[in-house]
Amino acid sequence: MIIVTTERIPGRETDQVLGLVRGNAVRARNIGRDILALFRNIIGGELKGYTQLQTESREQATERMIAEAETLGADAVVMVRYTTSMIAGGASEIMAFGTAVKLK
């Protein structure tokens, strides 16, 4: 499966557009990360626990998007984008979406 953020794949021709595919992940913070983040806010620096949480969520959303594309018989997903939003206090969603295509 080829995943790109561009409209086209260099050297490849799109045969068929199969449609929108997406995957999402909703994750909640935990008290341990919140306490460490509170201390980090005081002294400054990266919130590594939150960075890891967002990275894992993005990977899971991407995997789910790919799985949806595979069910359509896609060879690639083009124009891939990510969004994030707050769902509730302490919980956020990451969504990956793009256009599933069949290549020649």
Q: Is 64 contained in some domain?
A: yes
76: left (phi over 0), alpha (psi -120 to 50) or beta: beta
The pLDDT assigned to 29 comes to 65
Any bridge partners for residue 27, and if so which?
92
The domain total for the chain is 1
Q: Are 76 and 92 in contact (CB under 8 A)?
A: no
Residue 70 or 55, more confident: 70
The pLDDT assigned to 30 comes to 62
Q: Is 6 contained in some domain?
A: yes
Distance between CA atoms of residues 100 and 104, nearest Å: 14
> pTM of the full predicted structure?
0.83
Q: Is 10 contained in some domain?
A: yes
Q: Does 39 score more than 80 pLDDT?
A: no
Distance between CA atoms of residues 55 and 23, nearest Å: 14
The pLDDT assigned to 40 comes to 57
Q: Are 20 and 96 in contact (CB under 8 A)?
A: no
Q: Is 74 contained in some domain?
A: yes
Q: Please state the rounded mean pLDDT for residues 2-13.
A: 96
Q: Does 48 score more than 70 pLDDT?
A: yes
Q: Which CATH number does the domain housing residue 65 bear?
A: 3.30.110.70
Q: Does 89 score more than 60 pLDDT?
A: yes
Express each pLDDT in 92-102 by its tens digit: 899 999 999 99
SS3 state at 30: coil
Q: Is 41 contained in some domain?
A: no
Q: Please state the rounded mean pLDDT for residues 71-86.
A: 96
Q: Is 43 contained in some domain?
A: no
Q: Supply the range of the domain harboring residue 71.
A: 2-28+56-103
